[in-house]
Amino acid sequence: MAAGTGTTAHPRAYGGLMNDKNWAERVAALLTRENLVRHRAGVEWLGAGVYFLLGLIAVVGRFNAVIALLVVLGGASLIVLHRRAPGVALLGGYVLVVVVSVLLGGGYAEADWGVIGLPLLVVMFGSAAYGRAPIRWGALGIAAIAVLAAQVGLVFPQLTDIGGFGYGYTFMQSAGFLGSAAFVFVGTCALLLLPWFGGWLSRTAAQRKAAETGKVEIVAQRDELEVSVALEQERNRVARDVHDIVAHSLAVVISQADGARYAARKSPEAVDDALEAISATARAALVDVRSLLTDLRHSQEAGPQPGMNDIDNLVRSFRESGLEVEWSSYGVGRPVSEATGLGVYRIVQESLTNALRHGARTSPVDLEFDWSETALSITVTNDLSAGERAQNAAGHGIPGMRERSALAGGAFTMGDGTNGRFRIRAVLPVDRGTARTQPMATLRTASQPIIPTSSSTSAGVTS
């Protein structure tokens, strides 16, 4: 117990401020590549400061104080500027190596080479890594001047009475003139070119990373564009489907309602038939709309789409609406894909809807299928009411049929047919395989066949 306190004294837990493991972990965490790159400006200033202090210590007492201060200060400046202004640093490197070589001549030792050599190594790296092409290749001139200065400082004194200083000079004397010249040349070139190649590799890696980053961005932009195009195509598809469903159904409902209104006075029983037709048409449209909405919610087909086998009922519904349709077919029906079958159905639906809305009832609407080995030609011809010609190209109807033809790999045309009648023609590719043995067997009316069953048929069968 502590005296006078009445409490028990516990030993203080103390891990020590100089715990080797903790300090090693902290240093390793600070010296990661990410931290060095993030704080490289501070690292450069710190390196320049350390060089300045060590450089002054190395040359103090050997040279004039002003010269020593300017040389070391210039070297520190090169360390700071090698990344920010590689051109200025390169020019300063030339000035440093020339001025020092002229001022000191041959009378300088290894410590003097360290004072001017370290900034030159940094300049060589910075010129290759951050400079433009003239700066990169211009840095090699520093290596040439340094080699010449080294030859003058360490090799030339052997031929004169100037003499040299340090262990380097002693080694050169023992190696002989040619040997020492070769050693100094190779050593100086290697010392200066290694950081230059290191900077070049660093620049190449940065460019490769930038290219990869740009490629990733391009891929991302391409993916966004593909999504945008897919959404636009989906909107166009929905617009076509909604138009085909709603326009057809409303045209039939309007036609039946007008017919019932006119027939109510003379034939009241006809009103019931018209109302039944309106109800059936509206129910079918509701089913189609619900199927379309389900498709949008689940991004998949909720049920079977209309196709070739549904055209018979489609034509019958228009006939029941008061539109006189003469349907002829030539050749033998061949297999078609579901997408092509849907396109044929929608094109026929929209063509007959246009005829019901804008056509004159003076003559029947001609619907013609012409089968060949590779294509199905659909032609719809009808008379137009006065002033209605321009309206046929408006809205989603004509563009929708043109888009459906293009999506199926076919062609679409519209314009004047024979006798000034309005004509729509779509040609869609079909399977080149064997013809159906019972072509379009479900496309029959109660009394007459719609599609011929023999390839020898040359004239159309009209219903």
Identity (one letter) of the amino acid at 308? M
Question: Strand pairing of 411-416 and 365-371?
Answer: unpaired
Instruction: Provide the residue ranges of all domains of the chain, joining segments of one domain with +.
Output: 32-206, 324-463
pLDDT band at 220 (very low <50, low <70, confident <90, very high): confident
Average pLDDT, the chain: 71
Percent of the chain with pLDDT strictly greater than 90? 7
Q: What pLDDT was estimated at residue 40? A: 76
Rounded (10°) CA dihedral 260, 263, 268, 271: -20
Q: Give the CA count within 13 Å in the CB-facing half-sphere of 336.
A: 29
Lowest mean pLDDT among 139-143, 211-215, 302-306: 302-306
Flag whether pLDDT at 193 surpasses 80: yes
Per-residue buried b or exposed e for 217-248, using 16+ beta carbons within 10 Å of the residue's own CB: eeeeeeeeeeeeeeeeeeeebeebbbbbbebb
Mean pLDDT of 270-284: 71
**Crossing angle (nearest 10°) for helices 177-263 and 166-175:** 110
What is the value of pTM for the model shown? 0.40
The per-residue pLDDT for range 96-139, each reduced to its tens digit, is: 777 766 665 544 444 556 677 788 888 888 888 888 888 888 88
Rounded (10°) CA dihedral 10, 11, 13, 17: 140
As beta bridge partners, residue 422 has 382, 416
Superfamily of domain 324-463: Histidine kinase-like ATPase, C-terminal domain (3.30.565.10)
Flag whether pLDDT at 259 surpasses 60: yes
Q: How buried is residue 400: exposed, middle or buried, by Cβ count under 10 Å (0-12/13-18/19+)? A: buried
CA-CA distance, 289 to 262, in Å (whole number)?
30
CA-CA distance, 307 to 286, in Å (whole number)?
18
pLDDT band at 323 (very low <50, low <70, confident <90, very high): confident
Q: How many CB atoms lie within 10 A of CB 389?
A: 12
Q: What pLDDT was estimated at residue 448? A: 38
Give kind and range of the element (H or E) at residue 139: helix 133-150
Higher pLDDT, 220 or 457: 220
CA-CA distance, 198 to 204, in Å (whole number)?
10
Q: What pLDDT was estimated at residue 287? A: 65
| 413, two tokens | 């045309």
Indicate the DSSP class of residue 11: P
Q: What pLDDT was estimated at residue 63? A: 61
Lowest mean pLDDT among 2-16, 51-65, 329-343: 2-16
- Residue 233 phi, psi (nearest 5): -65, -40
Mean pLDDT of 226-232: 76
> What string of DSSP letters covers 73-112?
HHHHHHHHHHHH-HHHHHHHHHHHHHHHHHHHTT---HHH
CA-CA distance, 375 to 70, in Å (whole number)?
89
Q: What pLDDT was estimated at residue 27? A: 65
